[in-house]
Structure 1
Amino acid sequence: MTDATPPAGFGRPDLTAFARLDGLGLSVIGQRLEPDRAVLACRVVEPDQWCRRCGSEGAARDTAIRRLAHEPLGWRPTVLEVVVRRYRCADCGHVWRQDPSAAAEPRAKLS
């Protein structure tokens, strides 16, 4: 029987790399398999907590879910549910969301 450790060419399973989301700035934090599709819960890797108006640090306020169609994993269509954080600046009150544009352009439905 062959050895399945990293020196033999195997490593820990990594769904982020398997689904090729690391190049999109996303990280998989969960999965759900439904009869007709696979759903991957993702988060944006890069923080975006600095205010675009005044440059002060914002505080995380809440999150929004953005759904994107992704290339199928196997025979199942795959949907990405991307958690996008919203921030609020303590100094000027400006509210903004994390930038998920590496995964999809604004208002796009496909990753």
Structure 2
Amino acid sequence: MKKTARLAIESSAFDGRVLLGLDKLGLNPVWQRHEKAGSRAGVWLIGCESGDDTARRCARCGDAGRIRSSWLRRLAHTPVGQHAVHLMVRVRRYECVPCARSWTDDLTRVAPEGRRLTEAAAWWAAAEVVLKSKSILACARDLHCSWGAVNKAVLEKGMETLIGDPKRLDGDDACC
């Protein structure tokens, strides 16, 4: 039997969740729409819902909470080619009638409260600024979001990575 020099390549069915990294964020895509925007290739809007079913249970009594209201939270995500990607995440507010309390879906895996960029987009922007010397404005245009949102995210990543590292100056005697 003749052996070939070809490598065995494993493959799987195409899954857009994996391509966009939504599986790591715990999000399920529901819909998509492309919008022409600015002078760039446009923006892909991806409608998502949390894949965490445990959020629907009351932490106090364990009863299933009923959905009281919901809204969309728009988050800039890492671009795909020349297209910006925005995740339109449905955030649900639940209420537990027996406990008289309410809570929302926990999206801290996706983005910290108040941030308009996903964790992946924040790291992408920080890498573009540091490794490619790209300006914050150019990153903001690529992500199709505000300069302030990108600047805040890049500064946060820089602070937690560099300033937060107590060993960052080990072996450097120039500052002493």
- Return the alpha-carbon distance in structure 1 between the equivalents of residues 61 and 47 of structure 2: 32
Q: Considering Cα pairs closer than 8 Å and 6+ residues apart, tell me whether 1 or 2 has the greater RCO.
A: 1
Q: Quick one: which amino acid aligns to residue 66 of structure 1? A: R
Deviates more, 1:89-98 or 1:66-75: 89-98
Q: Is the 8 A contact 1:57 1:90 kept in 2?
A: no
- Return the alpha-carbon distance in structure 1 between the equivalents of residues 10 and 45 of structure 2: 28
Residue equivalent to 1:106: 113
- Return the alpha-carbon distance in structure 1 between the equivalents of residues 62 and 68 of structure 2: 17
Q: Quick one: which amino acid aligns to residue 33 of structure 1? A: H
Q: Is the 8 A contact 1:53 1:94 kept in 2?
A: no
Residue equivalent to 1:29: 30
Task: Give the superposed CA RMSD.
Answer: 1.9
Residue equivalent to 1:84: 91
Q: Which has the higher helix share?
A: 2
Instruction: For structure 2, list consecutive stretches of 5 or more residues without a partner in the other structure.
Output: 1-8, 37-41, 119-176
- Return the alpha-carbon distance in structure 2 between the equivalents of residues 28 and 57 of structure 1: 23
Residue equivalent to 2:138: none
- Return the alpha-carbon distance in structure 2 between the equivalents of residues 13 and 85 of structure 1: 29
TM-score norm. by structure 1 comes to 0.82
After TM superposition, list the pairs within 5 Å mapping 1:1-111 onto structure 2.
9-35=10-36, 36-47=42-53, 48-111=55-118
TM-score norm. by structure 2 comes to 0.54
Q: Which has the higher strand share?
A: 1
